[in-house]
Each structure stands twice: as C-alpha cells, then as structure tokens.
Amino acid sequence: MKKKIRMKFIHTADWHLGQLFHEYDRTYEHQQFLNRLIEVIKEQKTDVLLISGDVFDLSNPSALTVRMFYTFLNRASRVSKDLQIIITAGNHDSPSRLESPQPLLESSNIHIVGTVEKKADGSINFEKLIIPLKNKEGETEALCLAIPFLRMGDYPVVAECSDPYAEGVAELYRQVTSNAVSQLEQGQSLIAMGHLYAAGAERSGNDEQERPILGNIECVTASAFPVELKYVALGHIHKAQKIGGLDHIRYCGSPIPMSFSEVNYTHQVLSFDLTGGIIQNLEAVEIPAAIPLLRVPERHKPLHEVLLAISELPDNDGDINIAPYLEAKILLEGPEPGLRHKIEMALKGKRARLAKIDVKHPALSVAGETTLITSKKLEEIKPIEIFNKVYESKYNVAVPEVLTTLFNQVYQEASHIENK
C-alpha cells in the first residue's frame, strides 16, 4: 500500500502586479505582499504554490513589474528547493507573454500555463494542462489540472445548449478530468485550477468592473467541476469564499485591497494539506495591508462635517508615500466648485492621501405619477423646465432660486442676440 505523505499547498490569485489604485503606484504594497508570501512558504514548509491567474494587471506589464514577479519566483525557489509552482493566466494576463519563459523553466519546478494548446487535429493537448505534483520522496502524489482563463475557441462547442460558454467550460473540465483519471495510479489525487466567474460568487466593489471582460456571458456553476476533483483553486473574484456551499471549491481572494469596499475585509492566501487523497487543515493565512484604507466619515455627511473630520486625522510623521488611502464621503445639496481643492487643503500635513471623493445627494421626494410626453407637448416645454429637470435628476433637490434667476437672465440675453 502506498505510504500516506502530507503535501502542503498554498492557493493564491489576483495579484494584479503593476496596478494603480486611484492613480497611486502600488509597487510598495505588492512587494510587501510578496515578502510576506515568501515567509509563509518558508514557515509552512510548502510543497506546492498555486497561482490562479491575474498575476499582472495589464497584458503588457512594465519591465519593473515583470522583474518583481521573476525575482519572487527566484526567491521562492531558493527558500524551498523542492517547491513546485503552478501558474495559470487570468483575463488580465497576456497568455502568450506569461508563458513565454516556460522553455527556460523546464528544468525547474515552475510551470506556467497561459493557453489551451490544440494539436494538429484540433483536439486539446492534455499533456500541457495536466501537471504531476510530487511529494517529498519524489513520487507523484497528485495531478494538477492547470486550466487558465478560457476565451472563445479554448473550450469545446456543445451543440444545442442554452449557454455555450458555461456548458463549454464544463465540458472542458470534464474532458481534462477524464483524461487525468485515466493516468491516475493507486493513491493519487486530482486538484484543479481555474480563473472564471462562478455562479453565486459574492463580488467586491472592484469585481463589478470584471464582468464585462467576460462579455456578459453566463457564469459557471459548481457542478461544472467533476466530483473526482479534491480541490478547485479559483481566481478572478477578489473576495475569498467557497462556491456552491462546497468547502473544496474556493476563491482565495486578492492579497491586497482592490477597492474601498474592502476597508474592513481581511486579505489572505489559503493553505491546506493533501494527505492520502484527503484535504485537511484548510485555513486562511492573513496578509496584513501594507497601506490601510480610510473612509472619512464612515457615512456621507455635509462638506463642513467632512472637513472637520479630516482636520482631526493624525499629523503626518513619516513617509507620505506609504500613508493610508482616503475616501471622502460627502453629502451635497448642489454643485460645489473646487471640492477636491478644499479637501486637499484640509489634508495638508495629515497622514492620509486623497484617493477618492464619493459624493451623494439627498433624495428628492416628488409627488405625482410618471407621464408620457407627446411631440406637441415637447415643443411647449420651456427651457427653464428642462434645466429644472436636469438639475433635479443630477442633484435630487429643487433648483435654488438664485440659479433660476441666473438661468433666466442668460436665456433672455441669448434670445435677444438670436432675434437681432
């Protein structure tokens, strides 16, 4: 009987190296995360590191960003000479660019899968997608299905189905799993990777921007992942969570904040053991925020209250370039000229950097019902009525009398010029 040997895994994804946070460079934050990940790999005596897509934020990352990534790979390999690293491409990565160094890595334990390669007959090259994972004794303990973000043409076409994407993705996982099962020997297990949007996943603020990248196509369900898979390491959604109520199908979440909606969210990587085909000790390893997020105030308040709250922030006594990011939440009843300047002036000398101004307007209660406007009625609408409607729709309050007077003056002057 094959001896049961524990293998330690770390699951991470969505690094987005090179990303700007409201125009602020994040090199410091990313480097702090990578430093912490090196510590985790060493502390946990990690055997396998799974990176499930979106290594980079841009398909054409800067030279500095690329250097940061490959320096990490070098450091990680030196920390543990037997560490196996499996990297798949996400939708932000350039598939071909990401895997281009693979020939140089063939003699190492680093595997990068950016594309779903096809053979001359159009069939999938399963050999590229199925990577053996070896235990400390050099024996294959598991097979990893390293599946990157799937674009049209990567997954099989399923005839007569209601959702070509979701069913195509499920079919690809079925085919790759079936092929891997045929290779399994006694005591070996299957795990998988993926970068996709799973049904029921709870998104953070930044994830709302990710959906259009998929072309608004349907998401996949937990049933897309065959029952033979002991663990599914997902990326794409930035909030850590399990899918379909199943502990073994997981998003690890992004390791650093991606939006102010994550101000109270603890970032992490996931750690688990694989022993004799059983997943054990699945737990989150916290990644402390290198640069905190601040919301001032917690709820939208009038400008004068916000400025007062900002004045009470701690004075800056260190490097302002690593000071907390600030989101100012302001309640306005109308236009506020020079709003950003006023906030920046209040922030002078404070330990915070203005990243975002979130403005809301008080709700306007309007009696009556919505009516349709005929062409004749449209011709009868006065310019001041249009002005009022536009202003009210934008600010949710009635137009101040002073603005109505100014508008009428401008309109009369324009009419006078037109009639000359």
**Counted domains in the chain:** 3
The pLDDT score that the predictor gives to residue 394 is 72
pLDDT at 110 over 50: yes
- Compare 114 and 404 and report the one with higher pLDDT: 114
Q: DSSP 3-state assignment of 373?
A: coil
Q: Is residue 65 part of a domain?
A: yes
pLDDT digits (tens, 9 = 90+) for 283-298: 999 999 999 999 999 9
Residue 226 sits in the same domain as residue 156? yes
The pLDDT score that the predictor gives to residue 208 is 54
pLDDT at 409 over 90: no
Q: Phi first, then psi: give them for residue 190, nearest 5 degrees.
A: -120, 135
Q: Which of 118-127, 144-153, 195-204, 264-273 has the lowest mean pLDDT?
A: 195-204
Instruction: Work out the average pLDDT over 74-82.
Output: 91
Instruction: Work out the average pLDDT over 173-182.
Output: 97
Q: Please tell me the distance from the alpha carbon of residue 165 to that of residue 240, in angstroms, as a whole number.
A: 24
The pLDDT score that the predictor gives to residue 213 is 40
Q: Is residue 205 part of a domain?
A: yes
Q: Which of 305, 353, 347 is nearest to 329 (CA)?
A: 305
The pLDDT score that the predictor gives to residue 383 is 84
The pLDDT score that the predictor gives to residue 215 is 43
The pLDDT score that the predictor gives to residue 2 is 59
Q: Phi first, then psi: give them for residue 10, nearest 5 degrees.
A: -120, 130
Residue 197 sits in the same domain as residue 165? yes
Q: Which of 108-112, 244-248, 253-257, 386-390 has the lowest mean pLDDT?
A: 386-390
pLDDT band at 22 (very low <50, low <70, confident <90, very high): very high
Q: Please tell me the distance from the alpha carbon of residue 310 to that of residue 343, in angstroms, as a whole number.
A: 8
pLDDT at 3 over 80: no
Residue 228 sits in the same domain as residue 339? no
CB 255 within 8 A of CB 286: no
CB 53 within 8 A of CB 17: no
Residue 264 sits in the same domain as residue 328? no
Residue 266 sits in the same domain as residue 222? yes
Q: Please tell me the distance from the alpha carbon of residue 132 to that of residue 183, in angstroms, as a whole number.
A: 10
pLDDT at 396 over 90: no
Q: Which of 149, 107, 99, 94 is nearest to 128 (CA)?
A: 99
pLDDT at 142 over 80: yes
The pLDDT score that the predictor gives to residue 214 is 44
Q: Is residue 367 part of a domain?
A: no
The pLDDT score that the predictor gives to residue 312 is 95
Q: Is residue 81 part of a domain?
A: yes
Q: Is residue 369 part of a domain?
A: no
The pLDDT score that the predictor gives to residue 209 is 52
Q: Which of 288, 268, 277, 265 is nearest to 203 (CA)?
A: 265
Domain boundary among 239, 271, 286: 286
Q: What is the residue whose two structure tokens read 């997981």?
A: 250
pLDDT at 4 over 90: no
Q: pLDDT over 70 for what percent of the chain?
A: 90
pLDDT at 143 over 50: yes
Q: Which of 309, 303, 314, 297 is nearest to 342 (CA)?
A: 303
The pLDDT score that the predictor gives to residue 339 is 95
Residue 134 sits in the same domain as residue 273? yes
Locate 2 and state its tokens. Answer: 């094959």
Domain boundary among 360, 385, 401: 360
- 191 beta partners: 144, 231
Q: Please tell me the distance from the alpha carbon of residue 310 to that of residue 293, in angstroms, as a whole number.
A: 14
Q: What is the residue whose two structure tokens read 């930044």?
A: 206
Q: Is residue 398 part of a domain?
A: yes
Domain boundary among 254, 271, 286: 286
pLDDT at 375 over 50: no
Provide, for the chain, the percentages of residues in helix, strand and coil under a 3-state DSSP scheme, each rounded to the nearest 5: 35, 25, 40
Residue 42 sits in the same domain as residue 185? yes
Residue 45 sits in the same domain as residue 95? yes
Cβ atoms within 10 Å of 311's Cβ, excluding its own:
11
As a whole number, the mean pLDDT across the chain is: 89
Residue 259 sits in the same domain as residue 399? no
Residue 226 sits in the same domain as residue 304? no
The pLDDT score that the predictor gives to residue 136 is 87
pLDDT at 416 over 90: no
Indicate the pTM of the whole model: 0.84
The pLDDT score that the predictor gives to residue 155 is 92
The pLDDT score that the predictor gives to residue 378 is 46
pLDDT at 395 over 60: yes
Residue 243 sits in the same domain as residue 157? yes
**Domain extent for 43:** 7-286
Q: Is residue 200 part of a domain?
A: yes
Q: Which of 285, 283, 279, 306 is nearest to 295 (CA)?
A: 306
pLDDT at 417 over 80: no
Q: Is residue 370 part of a domain?
A: no
pLDDT digits (tens, 9 = 90+) for 336-373: 899 999 999 999 999 999 999 999 887 655 554 444 34
The pLDDT score that the predictor gives to residue 420 is 56
Residue 35 sits in the same domain as residue 110? yes
pLDDT at 137 over 90: no
CATH code of the domain in which 130 resides: 3.60.21.10
